[in-house]
């Protein structure tokens, strides 16, 4: 077996025992470390970087970080200090990588083999994007996308378009998007995109551009590779292309977080987390017989709004033997998790309830 990897320097402050370190750029929360709280502790949150993170010094004086706002009537360069004068809000939302659940695809989808832990629920504080845009005269006519650019230094010798983290989301995301400088009530660390991050509640992780240095209202999506052909849903064996669905709004999803391996016969508390992406949750059903029969679970803790996840619990009497425990969430629009996977080349967007279950030995 491989040696357990240690945390890279830029994430050295993380709780090593709560994480699976896949690589220098990818770490996920252990399923057993997700817990029953509504908010994921910062030191347990997963990390995913497509490029090496900028040096920690970028957050030494966060208020001087500059972001250029374009595609508005009065384009301007604003500092984080300026943004802090323009408005403030706090939103709880799930940050989840597009490839969370990739490890369950049998065709061996390329990329980090995330199980369930490339996700967490975070309190983001910053200025609503729409306040900034209104102050600058509103978007130009014909704008259909919000295009955000990451502030990493790009590696030499490569075509910038092939490596730059630049993502476009439809302008409908403007209602909820924010430019965030705090995570869980603390200044945003460079590990998670400080000094400033685009947060698009309910959208897959990749759209939440870290160290954001440019935000543009554009007629077209960026032609950066990460947008044009990356993060696109297509059949196994097919190359990515701009006409395939992009990883934008997240689908409804849940998974069990305890028990995970074994338990005693009798009353057991089955815990998990569930979320609806951009749509609030209606309910979560749990089955202890692999999906033959279901019972509605109870939500735990406060409801922090449609973009947050809801921890849930079901008290179940378990007999001795093996139990396949699965959960299935339904949102208020009636969307419910499918049983199976939608097979796709890169293993994106997996919300099938069957693969996400756990087999527990009860004695
Ligand atoms: N941003 C930038 N700038 N860079 C990079 O790399 N990545 C992505 C996002 N953003 C990036 C960015 C991804 S892809 C994800 S998930 C996220 O981020 C993560 O986060 P954190 O904080 O956890 O690390 Mo998949 O869909």
pLDDT in tens, 291-311: 999 999 999 999 999 999 999
Third-level CATH fold of 9-228? Sulfite Oxidase; Chain A, domain 2 (3.90.420)
- Atom 14 in ligand 1: residue holding the nearest Cα: 206
Q: Where in the chain is the domain with CATH 3.90.420.10?
A: 9-228
pLDDT over 70 percentage in the chain: 99
Above 60 in pLDDT, residue 1? no
Residue of 147, 207, 210, 213 to mutate, ligand 1, most atoms within 8 A of C-beta: 210
pLDDT over 90 percentage in the chain: 98
The answer to whether the beta carbons of residues 323 and 356 sit under 8 Å apart is: no
- Atom 17 in ligand 1: residue holding the nearest Cα: 205
What is the C-alpha separation between 121 and 241, in angstroms, rounded? 31
Residues in the chain: 363
Q: Is 189 in the pocket of ligand 1 (CB under 6 A)?
A: no
- Atom 7 in ligand 1: residue holding the nearest Cα: 49
Q: What is the pLDDT of residue 257?
A: 98
Joined tokens for residue 39: 């908010």
What is the C-alpha separation between 328 and 309, in angstroms, rounded? 14
Q: Is 11 in the pocket of ligand 1 (CB under 6 A)?
A: no
What is the C-alpha separation between 46 and 29, in angstroms, rounded? 5
CB contact burial 82-115 (16+ within 10 A = b; e otherwise): bbeebbeeebbbbbbbbbbbbbbbeeebeebbbb
Residue 352, preceding peptide bond in cis (omega within 30° of 0): no
Of 114, 119, 210, the residue nearest 167 (C-alpha): 210
Q: Is 184 in the pocket of ligand 1 (CB under 6 A)?
A: no
Tens of pLDDT, residues 106-115: 999 999 999 9
Q: Is 50 in the pocket of ligand 1 (CB under 6 A)?
A: yes
CATH class of the 253-362 domain in this structure: mainly beta
| Count of beta carbons in the 10 Å neighbourhood of residue 213 | 16
Q: Is 95 in the pocket of ligand 1 (CB under 6 A)?
A: yes
What burial class does residue 338 get, using C-beta atoms within 10 Å of its C-beta: 0-12 exposed, 13-18 middle, 19+ buried? middle
Q: What is the pLDDT of residue 163?
A: 98
- Atom 13 in ligand 1: residue holding the nearest Cα: 206
Q: Where in the chain is the domain with CATH 2.60.40.650?
A: 253-362
Distance (Å) from CA 218 to ligand 1 centroid: 21
């Amino acid at each position: 077996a491989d040696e357990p990897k240690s945390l890279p320097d830029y994430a050295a402050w993380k709780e090593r025992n709560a994480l699976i370190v896949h690589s220098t750029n990818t770490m996920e929360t252990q399923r057993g470390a997700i817990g029953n709280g509504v908010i994921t502790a910062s030191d347990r949150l997963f990390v995913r970087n497509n490029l090496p993170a900028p040096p920690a010094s970028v957050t030494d004086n966060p208020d001087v970080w500059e972001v250029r706002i374009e595609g508005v009537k009065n384009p301007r360069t604003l500092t984080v200090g300026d943004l802090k004068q323009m408005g403030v809000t706090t939103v709880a939302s799930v940050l989840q990588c597009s490839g969370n659940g990739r490890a369950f695809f049998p065709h061996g989808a390329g990329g980090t083999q995330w199980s369930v832990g490339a996700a967490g629920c975070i309190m983001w504080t910053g200025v609503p994007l729409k306040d900034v845009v209104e102050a600058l005269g509103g978007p130009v006519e014909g704008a259909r996308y919000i295009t955000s650019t990451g502030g990493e230094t790009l590696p030499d010798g490569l075509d910038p378009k092939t490596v730059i983290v630049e993502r476009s989301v439809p302008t409908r995301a403007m209602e909820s998007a924010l430019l965030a400088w705090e995570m869980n009530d603390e200044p945003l660390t460079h590990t998670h995109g400080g000094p400033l991050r685009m947060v698009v509640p309910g959208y897959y992780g990749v759209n939440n551009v870290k160290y954001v240095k440019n935000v543009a209202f554009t007629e077209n999506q960026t032609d950066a590779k990460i947008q044009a052909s990356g993060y696109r849903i297509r059949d196994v064996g097919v190359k990515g292309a701009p006409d395939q669905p992009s990883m934008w709004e997240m689908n409804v999803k849940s998974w069990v977080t305890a028990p995970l391996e074994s338990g005693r016969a009798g009353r057991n508390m089955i815990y998990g987390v569930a979320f609806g992406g951009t749509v609030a949750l209606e309910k979560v059903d749990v089955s202890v017989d692999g999906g033959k029969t279901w019972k509605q679970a109870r939500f735990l803790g406060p409801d922090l709004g449609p973009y947050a996840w809801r921890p849930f619990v079901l008290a179940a009497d378990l007999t001795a033997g093996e139990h396949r425990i699965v959960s299935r969430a339904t949102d208020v629009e009636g969307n419910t998790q499918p049983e199976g996977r939608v097979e796709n080349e890169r293993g994106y967007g997996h919300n099938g309830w069957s693969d996400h279950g756990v087999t527990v030995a009860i004695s």
